[in-house]
Chains A and B, each alone.
Chain A
């Protein structure tokens, strides 16, 4: 009986101290890449907010659409005004969870494959997504990376007929976040 009590206390303390251990960044990176035989378009955003709770596996990121930088000013203008309507929908978010949390040891250095599932909200449209990524733990820091495709029509993003050959219907999104422990 004593042993059980002790075990309950140990488990309780472990759960308590570990609970809500958050890793965050405000300088995450997201790339948008579209390729057609006519044109390659890419945009970069280096002020992405992201947070990971290593005990619950909750993972979120939030990105401001107007922070995406294109090589050409005209593309940036079209992206904001015509496609993303960034005045109406100023941000895109992902709110989800790591579903194979038991396969990842965030306290031990190494590279882990992760399955992430959740809601991706772009252009005001929310969709359930299931993507793969990696988390690399090194010296107390966690780097999360993922590359996935987004089908523009799923998010009600319309490509006008005049540029239908220049913009791909499916764009590639690259996420790269260097998370550091949130000190309280």
Chain B
């Protein structure tokens, strides 16, 4: 009887220890892949839509609500003639000018990934294809983030 008690306690102990180990392992996985999960790699992400920049802009300007539901928060591949590159602070922004409004030029403004920031200037005045994350339309411009050069 006494022996039996000890062995059952041991079994309980074993189960308990296994549970603790699993718990620690699970917490570790959770920390790495949930709490500390990496940001999406937009350079490698597959584009949800691929279209001409002018088309994207006119859809947003024409029917903001519909275009927003369709494109905001998505990875887009856009193409068109690059008009200029701005470098405010640490950012590099590729600008496609497509219209003029009350606050000056309107179009698509693409914040470049650091890796693609240096090379973008060489495309000024020529056709370029960019991929990035569309964060929406602010009534003057369509905003893209984390952009990379495709061509």
Chain A residues within 8 Å of B, Cβ to Cβ: 22, 24-27, 29, 46-47, 49, 51, 62-67, 69, 72-74, 76, 80, 86-87, 90-91, 178, 182-183
Question: Interface with A: B75-83, B85-93, B120-128, which one?
Answer: B85-93
Q: In the assembled complex, how far is the CB of residue A134 from the closest CB belonging to chain B, in whole angstroms?
A: 19
Q: Quick one: given A66-B135, A66-B136, A90-B136, are A29 and B68 in contact (CB under 8 Å)?
A: no
Contacts of A26 in B (CB 8 A): 109, 140-141
Interface residues on chain B, size class: 20 to 34
Check A64 against B91 for contact (C-beta < 8 Å): no
The 7 closest A-B pairs by CB, nearest first: A66-B135, A27-B88, A67-B135, A73-B39, A64-B136, A64-B135, A90-B136
Chain B residues within 8 Å of A, Cβ to Cβ: 34-40, 68-69, 72-73, 86, 88-89, 91, 93, 103-104, 109, 111, 133, 135-141, 143, 145
Q: Quick one: given A47-B109, A49-B140, A90-B72, are A27 and B103 in contact (CB under 8 Å)?
A: no
Q: Which of B39, B88, B93, B103 touches A22 (beta carbons < 8 Å)?
A: B103
Check A76 against B39 for contact (C-beta < 8 Å): yes
Check A51 against B93 for contact (C-beta < 8 Å): no
Distance, CA A90 to CA B73, complexed state (A): 10
Q: In the assembled complex, how far is the CB of residue B38 from the closest CB belonging to chain A, in whole angstroms?
A: 6
Q: In the assembled complex, how far is the CB of residue A32 from the closest CB belonging to chain B, in whole angstroms?
A: 15
Check A46 against B89 for contact (C-beta < 8 Å): yes
**Which residue on B lies nearest to A66, using beta carbons?**
B135
Q: Quick one: given A27-B93, A47-B109, A64-B143, are A182 and B135 in contact (CB under 8 Å)?
A: no
